[in-house]
Each structure stands twice: as C-alpha cells, then as structure tokens.
Chains A and B, each alone.
Chain A
C-alpha cells in the first residue's frame, strides 16, 4: 500500500506520541470522565450513581451480554472494578487482572505469593498516576505497574502474625494512599494509615482505639472498607468496625470510642475533626463500615452538606458532614436492641440485649441489616437505595468464653432480602422490593436515566425503575452478586458491569 505524505506523517506521529494522557490524576478522581471508574466508589462521594443515560427504562429490556470474563477461581469476585484508559482492573485475594473493557480479554494477571492470610475477599485496587495499589490477605500493600502488573514495591501495613489482614481498596487523595486493616479474632488496634504513593513510606497513622492492654479500654475498630472524601472541606470520612472482645462487653465498659463509628479526618495529617457513633458499646459485631455517602442537597428546606449511612445495626443516619451534627436517625428494618436515642442521635444499647449464657434473640442478625456492598443515592428522586436484610439471630456469651477475640457465639435464625428506597428527608421507605429468602447482599448502582441495578438472593441481576422499584429486566447469573455494579461508556456505548461467583459480566444494548 502506498501512503501519501500526510498519511505517513500522521502514522509517524501516532507511533511517536502517546494516544492520550495515561493513568489517574487528581482531576480524574475529582470528576471522573464517563469512560472511567477510577476509584472504588467511582467518584469520591460514595453515591455509586452514574450520569449515563443511554440505557433507559424503555430500552433496558434489550440489555444483553457483551462479554464475560472468567477468573477461573473458586474465590468469589467481591471487588468493585477500576476502569482507567479502557482497561479494567479486577481482583480476588492474591490475584489482580487487567482486562480490556471493550472485549473482556485479559492483558495481564498478577498473583501474589502463597501466604497465610485470610482469604475473605478483595474489594479491588486503586490507582495513582500509572500505579496500582493492591492489599493482600497477609496485610501487605503492593504497588504494581498498571501497564504490565510488575511489582514496584511491597510494604507491610500490619503484622499478620498478630491477626491482622486486609481486604480493602485504598482511597487515593492527592499524594496519599489511605489504607485500612481487618481482624477480630484477636484483640487488636484498628487504624488508618496514609502511605506515600511513590515510596510506600508511612505519612501518618490514626488509631481507632487505645493501645491493646490499656486497662478498661476497648480494642478493635477495624477500618475494613474504602472511605469517601470531600475536597472542599478537605476531610475524609471513614467507618470503623466492632470493638473486641466482640460479643462480651464487660471488660470494655462505656461507648468504646472510636469503634463502630463514622470519623472525619484530615487526609494530610490524619487528625480527627469529628466522630459519630452508630453503635456505642457494640456487642453484636455490627461494624459501622458501610459506605459514608456524601450528598449536597436541601434538608428541611436548608442547603446542607450531608453524610448518610445505612448502618449494619439497622439504623439510617443523616449527618451534617461539616460538624457531624445529627439531622435524622431512623431504622430501615426490624431492630430490638436499643432503648432510644441519645442527644447526639445515637442509639442507646439495651443492656438486656447483650449476649447472655442462655441466649438473646436479636434483630438484625450478625450479618446485619446491610453489609459491605454499596448502597446508591439517586439525587433526582432523593432516594437512598440499599440492599436490606431483615433478620434475627441468637447471641450467647458467658464468662467461660473469656475476654479475647470472639468471646461468645451467635447463630443466624432467619432472614430475607429486600431492596429498600429510603427518602432521605424523612427516613420513610418509599418503596421496597423483595429479593428472596436468606438475603441478597448485592450492591446497588443508580443511573441518571432512572434505573437501579442490583441482584437478588437466587443470582438474578436486575434493572429496576428507580422511581417505584418495578423490575424492567433481569438475567440469571448462577450465583449471587457479591460486589457492587459499575457503569461506563466507551465508543459511545454504555456498559453495566456486574459479577457473580468468579465471573465478571459486561452488559450493553445491542449494537
């Protein structure tokens, strides 16, 4: 083939110059373009809402499978995929894949060496410039080159021999990679750590609880999940987990700050700005690590910068995120463990509902009214949509169980799955949609077209109309969704990504 001067010049130019800016910078994280999903929640707000409108309530019935990616793993996908420059990054414990978002074919696969950490789940990687950040079952933070999956550095975040492990997707804020830890089979201090994205060096540490062994003090407060960020206030918002010992409260009297709390920290210093505690003196393993969703809207006629959380303990909270002031506290399913609210709007636990030797029937169960998968906020309807789990469990503890780690026993009795659409102004449930016996556990994504994507307890992925919860589309995927959906647009085509088992599915309208 003979090329004209202009054609050959153009070809030469294309060969020499990169096609586009690569990687993630602050502007992408602050305002993710439609062809990206550059952080765990997409943007920093935690709303898990997409502005895309190609897939609508009218045409969603035509949605079909564009590709599926098989990890070939028994380990289930529990990650939120990251999408940058047309490449998806997905994870299960000890494994990262780079996958072409257009075709679903693998670009590279990184495996972490065998280790003794807990394989509970991996929520995904995060990205800064051209580097990926991946946390391991034995509590290491690995920096990988996004183009080939090669290790740049590997630092220890916490001592896995003491009982720590990690599952979360780090939060990248300016030049901080903010990581959290897990572990409650031992009495350990929960903490957040800020790491330098270039060197892996620690920038600051914030401890949720006093040093282990402090008389009368609690331990615990694990920082399981990815927080959210308000760039104007320059505060990160993070949920902390349960106190330890878990089911026995006697050795740790009082509220047990800052366990089961929502904390606001300065991302540059780790300094605490304020804290709110969804579960003071928890004895039911109800981490308050569900997404702290940031919403700017009016509340009772007044413009507010809010933070909303559907907490594992069955309560829905609306806070003013500048100060932590409580605006609304309500339940979103059956609860029987609190005797009222304190003046800060926090539930007051009923001492008669602490685990006991002959058992206490508690609503919700230990899995909670919701768990780690994301809810979604839809601004147009003012609905906070969450996978709820009305449930009961029985809780036991007696002196022979000791004061270390679990220190008791509990058993789920009954539960079901219900998608609930909560009006944030009133806390009233505007509609609910049954998801089947047992519970679903799927995350939720809403879009500007008025669609809600989630899954049911039998493995169906579904699209509902956000306004009223009516089912408009579904497909059986064989196993329950254990992750939260994302959406993106490439080449003028909108994709919805969901996973179940070890398979990632990309759904789109016919070409």
Chain B
C-alpha cells in the first residue's frame, strides 16, 4: 500500500467553537446510547453557545454515519476503515487519548493540529465534520469493545520476551547506553512513566528530543540556544530568554549538539534480542 511520507507540517492555531463542543457532546452521548455503552455517556453541555447548525439537529445515528463516510475518506487509509488501525496509524479504539476524550476535547485538537512528529497531517475541516468524526470514533470504540478476539496493536504482554540481565549487560556494554543514561538518574522510574510500545518506541528513538545549537556569527559573537529550525539554507534557534533568531546557514558557523541522535546510530547495531532484552531491563526501572 502506498504511503505519504512522514511530513513535517506547520502547526495552525487551535480553534474550537462553542457550537462544536455542544454538538459533539450531544452526538457522542447519543451514539453511546444507541450502542448500549458499557459506561455512562458524557454529560450534555450546560449551555449551548452560538447559533444552532444543521448538524445539531441531525440524529446521532445519522451523525455517526456521516462521520463514518468522512472517516473512510480522510482517516481510513492510516487508521483503518473502522478506526481499528491501518497503514501507519494506530488503532484509535484502543487509544488512551480517545478514552480520555470528552466531547472532542482531546480528539479535535489532534485532528486540527495533526501530530507532525508522528507524521500525521493536520486536517482543516469544518466543526460539523469534526463533530461527526468524533462521534464515529467513539461509536467504533464501543463497537470494538463488544467484539471478541481480533487485535491490531501491541499489548504490554507482547513485549515480555527479553532477559533483563542480558539487557543490563547490553546497556552497560555494547549499547553504551550508560554513557548518557543512568538507572538511578534520568531513567529512575522510567517504567512507571512509560510502558509497552510507548516505552519501546522512546527507547529506540525519542522523537522530538531537544537539540542545542551554538552559532558563531561573522563578527565572532557566539550564541547558544535550542535548535528550532534547520534546513540546508536556514538555521533558527531560541535563546535562553526565549527570543527566536535565524540566519542564512551560509552566513554563520554552527554546531549542533543532539545527543538523542545516538539512538539512530544504534538501529544498525541491534539484534531483535538486544531490543527485547533492553526492554526487559528498562521495565525493571520502576
């Protein structure tokens, strides 16, 4: 199956209208009721803000249907037609973010802003469409919970095949993890903060890790700060007082200190057993 690349998309401003929250609440609760939800439906909003729009009057089943069509078109390729996971996109029915969502409060920002660090584009959709998508995702979550068997995702239990002692040896030996990390320092309690696939993904490559850049200007002045932007032509940083500076890359000398990039170097070195053993070891750091 063909794929769009892992894009880096600009982040648009977050907007969320009162109408939207209201519509989602009504729809999500109606959807939940129609599917005989195992847990209580979200409470309806206390006040409705803004003029009623056609979607508000739309029956919940119709909204879920509308959301389903939209979902297939806009989301289905990555997240699967039934929101159960597809190409590169996770199973939304098992998502913690979806479980925590009330009236679209966590789902809608992700749809609008995307998750550029994970390759998810932003979707500039009308409020009514997003309300329908949220209703459909909640409906599918309930559907999935009522289905027996079938699994598209990775359970914590799947990632328990390693040997913690061997993992510790790799950590201190061939992996040289101990040159940057310490089980009693930065990694103390890491297994309480992350688990399962999330822990493994962060172990293999911590996306979005901050890098430091030191820029030497033509006049000899040196600035150090957080690397914010870099392409072949422009270098951008934020200094300690959070001011943004940028230069043509050709006009300055700069060095980037990105210690997390060492994770990428290890990818060519690991055996699968090394990864499973390291996971076993990290899971002892509670």
Q: Which residues of A contact B (CB under 8 A)?
A: 74, 76, 93, 114, 116-121, 137, 167, 182, 184-185, 222, 224-225, 241-242, 246, 285, 287, 289, 334, 336, 352, 356-361, 363, 366-368, 371-372, 389, 392, 394, 396, 398, 400-402, 406, 408-415, 417, 434, 436-441, 456-458, 460, 462, 471, 474, 478-480, 482
Contact = CB atoms under 8 A, between A and B. Distances in A.
Contacts of B10: 478-479
A399 B88 CA distance: 20
28 contacts: A116-B73, A117-B73, A118-B72, A120-B2, A246-B1, A287-B1, A358-B159, A358-B161, A361-B270, A361-B272, A367-B3, A367-B6, A371-B3, A392-B204, A396-B154, A398-B158, A401-B152, A406-B85, A406-B86, A406-B87, A412-B88, A441-B5, A456-B232, A458-B8, A474-B232, A474-B233, A479-B7, A480-B7
B168 interface: no
A414 B268 contact: no
B2 A224 contact: yes
Interface string B99-132: 0000000000000000000010001110000000
Contacts of A167: 2
Given A118-B72, A438-B6, A414 B275 contact: no
B197 A411 contact: yes
A412 B6 contact: yes
Interface string B62-75: 00000001001110
B238 interface: no
Contacts of B91: 409
B158 A74 contact: no
Given A119-B73, A371-B2, A389-B5, A394 B204 contact: yes
B138 interface: no
Interface in B1-19: 1-10
B73 A441 contact: no
B264 interface: yes
A439 B88 CA distance: 15
Nearest to B203: A413
Given A366-B3, A458-B8, A120 B272 contact: no
Interface stretch (B53-61, B76-84, B187-195): B76-84
Contacts of A361: 204, 267, 270, 272, 275
Given A367-B6, A401-B152, A412 B73 contact: no
Nearest to A438: B6
Interface in B247-272: 263-264, 267-268, 270, 272
A336 B152 CA distance: 24
A435 to B, nearest CB: 8
B231 interface: yes
Contacts of B150: 400-402
Contacts of B197: 411
Contacts of A457: 5, 8, 231
Contacts of B201: 394, 411, 413
Given A359-B158, A361-B204, A480-B7, 5 more contacts: A119-B74, A396-B158, A406-B85, A460-B232, A482-B5
Contacts of B90: 409
B85 A413 contact: no
Nearest to A225: B2
B149 interface: yes
Nearest to A387: B5
Which 6 pairs from chain A and chain B are nearest by CB? A441-B5, A119-B73, A358-B161, A414-B205, A458-B231, A400-B151
Interface of B: 1-10, 69, 72-74, 76-77, 80-81, 85-88, 90-91, 119, 123-125, 149-154, 158-162, 197, 200-201, 204-205, 229, 231-233, 263-264, 267-268, 270, 272, 275-276
Interface residues of A: mostly helix, strand, loop or mixed? Answer: loop
A116 B91 CA distance: 21
B88 A367 contact: yes
B275 A359 contact: yes
Contacts of A437: 8
A114 B164 CA distance: 55
Contacts of A408: 152
B229 to A, nearest CB: 8
A289 B3 CA distance: 12
A185 B86 contact: yes
Nearest to B82: A185
A285 B88 CA distance: 11
A462 B158 CA distance: 45
Contact of A118 (B73, B149, B154, B270): B73
A412 B72 contact: no
Contact of B5 (A225, A392, A480): A480
A411 to B, nearest CB: 6
Contact of A414 (B2, B153, B231, B267): B267
A460 B230 CA distance: 12
A246 B151 CA distance: 14
Contacts of A225: 2
A221 to B, nearest CB: 12
Nearest to B124: A74
Nearest to A482: B4
A406 B86 CA distance: 7
A460 B233 contact: yes
A311 to B, nearest CB: 13
Residue of B162, B200, B229, B276 contacting most chain A CB atoms (<10 Å) = B200
Contacts of B232: 434, 436, 456, 460, 462, 471, 474
A113 B155 CA distance: 41
Contacts of A462: 232
Contact of B7 (A119, A287, A438): A438
A359 B80 contact: no
Contacts of A436: 231-232
Given A184-B1, A185-B80, A458-B231, A415 B6 contact: yes
Interface centre among B73, B81, B263, B276 (most CB of A within 10 A): B73
A74 B125 contact: yes
B233 A359 contact: no
A343 B103 CA distance: 59
A357 B231 contact: no
A438 B114 CA distance: 15
Contact of B1 (A241, A456, A471): A241
A7 B102 CA distance: 75
Contact of A413 (B74, B87, B125, B267): B267
Nearest to A78: B4
A451 B164 CA distance: 54
B204 A116 contact: no
Contacts of A474: 232-233
A285 to B, nearest CB: 6
Contact of B154 (A241, A372, A409, A434): A409
A409 B263 CA distance: 22
Task: Give the residue among B7, B76, B197 with the most A Cβ atoms within 10 A.
Answer: B7
Contact of B6 (A185, A406, A439): A439
Contacts of B5: 367, 371, 389, 417, 438-441, 457, 480, 482
Nearest to B69: A116
